Chain A
Amino acid sequence: MKNIVEVENLTKYYKKFRALNSVSFSVEEGEIFGFLGPNGAGKSTTVRILNTLLLPTSGRVFMAGHDLGKEPYEVKARIGLVPEISNPYLELSCYENLLFTGRLFGMKNRDIRSEIDNLLDFFELESKRNVKAEFLSKGLRRRLTIAMGLINRPKLLFLDEPVSGLDIQSARLIKRLIREANEKGTTIFITTHQLNVANDLCDRIAIIQDGEIKALDSPDRLKKAAKQSQAVEIHLDKLKDVDIKELKSLKTVERVDVNKGKAKLFTEHPEILYPLLISWAEKNNIRIEIMNTLSPTLEDVFIEITGKGFKKGPEGQKKRHKKV
């Protein structure tokens, strides 16, 4: 597939501090690309360079077929920008905010009006057309901000924390709208700290740490490549009486953690362990109340790569319930 973004050896120094160290990656046309990294990793610096807001120290960026260094205006005309904060002008109506943004791109008034109608309809803001942004709820302001980013029909939309601070309904709606905008042909470049958002939306994810790209792949492949093995979690009716050594001795079990009535057995092969566990329980007259398979999540991958986690252990793992 054709690349819409190609970053080659991008380096950025802030005086003597090196924020980016020869970063290279590409974004394919039509994909939803996630760009993750802890604070201070170089994420914002990279995105600000791609947004034409910051000049790199060295390296080249090609976007939508144009060299950012040589043809910045050609690049600017083809990108949309949605910052982390929802920042329409509060004193202007939804229509006026979109009109202003469209005019900045040099669009003809007729085209802007037609695009405004489409966007207000698409983002379900038609009833708020003439309402000032100050009277919109947080979710509606977010929708308007994203609509402003799409007014010029960009080939590439940069979205910073698209659903941060929104209630569940608004977040789900915005994620649906992002997917639909992507299906209509807009490549989406998302930066977020919310790993579930990246997991839900992104086709591929890059993780940056200390100014270098540490990983770049699909969420599923990143999770499969994680060093942390899978685990089987069991809830037993008499866990206290169980000899943990017996559990450890079961085939394929690498380690056993016991916590609050639950035993977590780490294994590379849960499918082999299931029948062994059931036989073991029957033999010892123990009832297994719940058996879950735990697989690494994107958060586990993130922690493994960056070494900076929010929380470690089973809380961060996704459960696939399997009642016995």
Chain B
Amino acid sequence: MKGKNILYWLRSVMVIAVKDIKVYYMTPSMIMFGFLIPFFLFFSFTVGRHLSIQSSIVRLISMTVFFTSSSAGQVILPMERRMKTLDRILATPVPLSALIIGKSFVGLFFGFTVSILPVIFALLFFKLTVSGIGLLLIGIFLSSWVFSMMGVFFSSFPVQKPGSVMMPSTLLRWPLLFISGIFIPLTAMSPLLRGVSYISPLTYTVDILNLSVTGSSIQSLFINFGVLIILNVIFYIFAVKLFIRGKVLGY
């Protein structure tokens, strides 16, 4: 049966991801929430603060992987639901898992690309030095996927307007930004705040990026990667459950 065929599954993932990239990458919502906001935030909290290029690039990448990757799903899925194009996909033999992974790949590619460009730019023009380029790429890749999956999870609630997802998710994402060690290093936080910071997935991303760029980190790499992988799986499972719940309740 096609639904169980691994090649069909992989092809479905890519077909969905490529279509979404072609159709949605240049939409105003994607440009606004996925591109402009992280860069505005970066300049607001960085310019004039005499940070090193290493610290600045970690700060910028943290925000791009976080905002850019998570925006894709939140823009695309409600739009597809409203236009009934999601119904067309759900009525085909494409497995739900392929649909969700495919949608998460869109944010992954978007976040990875937008994050990697400043790194290349800084390497070429600002004499950026990094401790481990491989670790940096893997860290950006995994983080982009986790936050993209988080966006897909948020948009798996049966809403038809991107704003209906963006509003609550932004309310959740902004506080995470300030407790994850981007603007205030974890070492400078009070024990209470530092404890709270560990509930934010962004904390683990920032630690990986710090290690790969500056060479210093707080937790072990094993914990950072482990937490991000587990969170990715959790977001995926909840997204699947929400889709199935939508099939029971209707939307």
Interface, chain A (partner B; CB < 8 A): 14-15, 45, 48, 51-55, 72-74, 76-77, 79, 81, 83-85, 87, 89, 91-92, 96, 100-101, 103-106, 148, 152
Please judge, given known A-B contacts A76-B92, A83-B87, whether A53 and B247 are in contact too, CB under 8 Å: yes
Interchain residue pairs with CB less than 8 A apart (23): A14-B250, A45-B250, A52-B91, A53-B87, A53-B90, A54-B250, A55-B247, A55-B248, A72-B3, A73-B2, A76-B92, A83-B88, A84-B84, A87-B85, A87-B88, A89-B22, A91-B22, A96-B22, A103-B15, A106-B8, A106-B12, A148-B88, A152-B92
- Asked if B167 CB lies within 8 Å of chain A CBs, one says no
- Shortest distance between the CB of A51 and any CB in chain B (Å): 5
Asked if B91 and A79 sit within 8 Å, CB to CB, the answer is: yes
Please list the 7 inter-chain residue pairs (A to B) with the smallest Cβ-Cβ separation, ordered nearest first: A73-B3, A104-B92, A83-B84, A76-B93, A103-B15, A81-B91, A73-B93
How would residues 73 to 88 of chain B score, 1 for a CB under 8 Å from any chain A CB and 0 otherwise?
Answer: 0000000000111011
Give the most central of B1, B2, B11, B84: most A CB within 10 Å.
B84
Asked if A51 and B91 sit within 8 Å, CB to CB, the answer is: yes
- Shortest distance between the CB of A69 and any CB in chain B (Å): 12
Bound-complex Cα distance A15 to B85 (A): 26
Give the most central of A55, A91, A103: most B CB within 10 Å.
A103
Select A85's contact among B84, B93, B95, beta carbons within 8 Å. B84
- Asked if B19 CB lies within 8 Å of chain A CBs, one says yes
Residues of B within 8 A of A96 (CB): 22
Bound-complex Cα distance A168 to B87 (A): 28
- Residue ID in chain A nearest B27 by CB atoms: A91
Interface, chain B (partner A; CB < 8 A): 1-5, 8, 11-12, 15-16, 19, 22-23, 83-85, 87-95, 247-250
Please judge, given known A-B contacts A48-B250, A85-B83, A106-B2, whether A100 and B91 are in contact too, CB under 8 Å: no
- Shortest distance between the CB of B94 and any CB in chain A (Å): 5
Bound-complex Cα distance A76 to B11 (A): 17
Bound-complex Cα distance A152 to B5 (A): 18
Bound-complex Cα distance A73 to B85 (A): 19
Bound-complex Cα distance A217 to B5 (A): 42
Asked if A87 and B84 sit within 8 Å, CB to CB, the answer is: yes
Asked if B93 and A101 sit within 8 Å, CB to CB, the answer is: no
Residues of B within 8 A of A81 (CB): 87-88, 91
Give the most central of B5, B19, B89, B247: most A CB within 10 Å.
B19
Residues of B within 8 A of A53 (CB): 87, 90-91, 247
Residues of B within 8 A of A14 (CB): 249-250
Bound-complex Cα distance A87 to B87 (A): 11
Residues of B within 8 A of A101 (CB): 88, 92
Bound-complex Cα distance A77 to B89 (A): 12
- Residue ID in chain B nearest A145 by CB atoms: B88
Asked if A77 and B250 sit within 8 Å, CB to CB, the answer is: no
Residues of A within 8 A of B2 (CB): 73, 77, 105-106
Asked if B11 and A103 sit within 8 Å, CB to CB, the answer is: yes
Please judge, given known A-B contacts A45-B250, A53-B247, A55-B248, whether A106 and B5 are in contact too, CB under 8 Å: yes
Select B93's contact among A83, A91, A105, beta carbons within 8 Å. A105
Residues of B within 8 A of A100 (CB): 15, 19
Bound-complex Cα distance A45 to B251 (A): 10
Bound-complex Cα distance A106 to B5 (A): 10
- Shortest distance between the CB of B127 and any CB in chain A (Å): 40
Bound-complex Cα distance A72 to B91 (A): 9
Q: Known pairs A51-B87, A103-B15, A152-B92. 18 more at Cβ < 8 A? A: A45-B250, A48-B250, A72-B3, A76-B92, A79-B91, A83-B87, A84-B84, A89-B22, A89-B85, A92-B22, A100-B15, A103-B12, A104-B12, A104-B88, A105-B92, A106-B2, A106-B5, A106-B11
Asked if A92 and B88 sit within 8 Å, CB to CB, the answer is: no
Bound-complex Cα distance A77 to B247 (A): 19
Asked if A87 and B1 sit within 8 Å, CB to CB, the answer is: no
Residues of A within 8 A of B22 (CB): 89, 91-92, 96
- Shortest distance between the CB of A311 and any CB in chain B (Å): 30
Asked if A106 and B93 sit within 8 Å, CB to CB, the answer is: yes
Bound-complex Cα distance A152 to B248 (A): 27
Residues of A within 8 A of B15 (CB): 100, 103-104
- Shortest distance between the CB of B22 and any CB in chain A (Å): 6
Residues of B within 8 A of A152 (CB): 92
Bound-complex Cα distance A45 to B6 (A): 32
Residues of A within 8 A of B91 (CB): 51-53, 76, 79, 81
Residues of A within 8 A of B19 (CB): 89, 92, 100
Please judge, given known A-B contacts A83-B87, A104-B12, whether A92 and B92 are in contact too, CB under 8 Å: no
Asked if A89 and B247 sit within 8 Å, CB to CB, the answer is: no
Bound-complex Cα distance A124 to B26 (A): 31
- Residue ID in chain B nearest A12 by CB atoms: B250
- Shortest distance between the CB of A29 and any CB in chain B (Å): 20
Residues of B within 8 A of A106 (CB): 2, 5, 8, 11-12, 93
- Residue ID in chain B nearest A19 by CB atoms: B250
